[in-house]
Amino acid sequence: MRLFAAFALVLLGITAPASAQRTGSISTDKTVYAYGEPIVITYAFVNDSDSAYTVFTSSSCQAVFFFDGDILPQVCTADHFPQTIPPGGQRTWRWHLDPTRLGIPSTDGLHTLIAHFGVAYADTVTIEAPAYLGGTIDIHFRSTAPVDSISAMVEVLQAEVLNSQETPDRLLYEVWRIAGMRIDEAFDRFGSASYVVRMDRSYFDTGGQEIVTSREEAPLPVRAAVGVAYPNPFNDHTTFTIQPVTAGPIRAVLYDLLGRERGVLFEGYLPAGATQSVTIEAGDLPAGVYVYRVETAGGVVAGKVVLRR
């Protein structure tokens, strides 16, 4: 069985030894969680030194966190952009983890969470939560998969079928939200079935990550309101909107996960408050995850889409 491998986020940082002048701290909204209760993780990096701190990270994933030693299957581009915290500045990241999607925790009891921004400034927190029986998974079935066998899987896994379509190579691709069984148990039980080609955990969309600027750090520039692409995942095309806060030139570009430009989606001048609809056409693009970046004079806003074939 081939399980989904998380994208490794490589941090090539301009780092200095950890000190009291630069600190990273992780916290959660609670210490004890009920079954299936969302977990909110906050990580704050404080630069109280007299010099700026710069780390080169993926443009779509900056700070990194681990849950029980594993990086969740995040979707991160393979590009590298500088993230700079000036003297006296602080940057805070917040993640909202939904057990019903991610299928975590996988065991009962205590769980260790680690986060860092630059490998020298990691911090750890421990929470208590019961194992979650369920989560969201992607399954590829052979075209010859018996309907009765798939129906039996649905019944055993108490599955809700969220998406179902045929791929160009004539596989049946489906997204299921399962219940009553841990994701790893589901993989062990059905992953080697003759009619199953692949079972994976669904991607964790880091678009739910919040970035907060505080203390003496200059506020993040007001860029543009960029709508969430819909539909997502998509087969033929998907659309998002751009609404700039201030007038100026706008450029929207589509990239793949290797950081390669796959097309200019929009380029032009937009007045403040105007709404521009932008469409991403599937065309000849292969199935996969793509990032659309909206570049303005004030900075960059990015979003992710998944193309299913």
Domain ranges for the chain, please list them: 12-130+206-213, 134-201, 221-307
Q: Enumerate residue ranges in the chain where pLDDT < 50.
A: 1-19, 206-208, 214, 216-222
- Burial (0-12, 13-18, 19+ Cβ within 10 Å), 195: middle
| CATH code linked to domain 134-201 | 3.30.70.80
- The residues facing 240 across adjacent strands are 278
| CATH code linked to domain 12-130+206-213 | 2.60.40.10
- 186's enclosing H/E stretch is helix 183-190
Please tell me the predicted confidence (pLDDT) of residue 154: 96
214 contact partners, CB below 8 Å, separation of at least 6? 90, 92
Fold match between domain 12-130+206-213 and domain 221-307 = yes
Q: Do the Cβ atoms of 31 and 11 come closer than 8 Å?
A: no
147 contact partners, CB below 8 Å, separation of at least 6? none
Alpha-carbon dihedral angle through residues 168, 172, 173, 176, given to the nearest 10 degrees: 170
CA-CA distance, 178 to 103, in Å (whole number)?
9
Q: Do the Cβ atoms of 92 and 41 come closer than 8 Å?
A: no
Please tell me the predicted confidence (pLDDT) of residue 111: 95
CA-CA distance, 115 to 209, in Å (whole number)?
13
CA-CA distance, 13 to 307, in Å (whole number)?
32
In angstroms, the first-to-last Cα distance of the chain is 22
DSSP per residue over 69-100, as a string? TB---B---S--EEEEE-TTEEEEEEEEE-HH
The pLDDT tens digits for 218-275 are: 444 445 667 778 788 888 898 888 877 778 889 899 988 777 889 999 999 988 778 8
Considering the domain 221-307, what is its CATH architecture?
A: Sandwich (2.60)
**pTM exceeding 0.85:** no
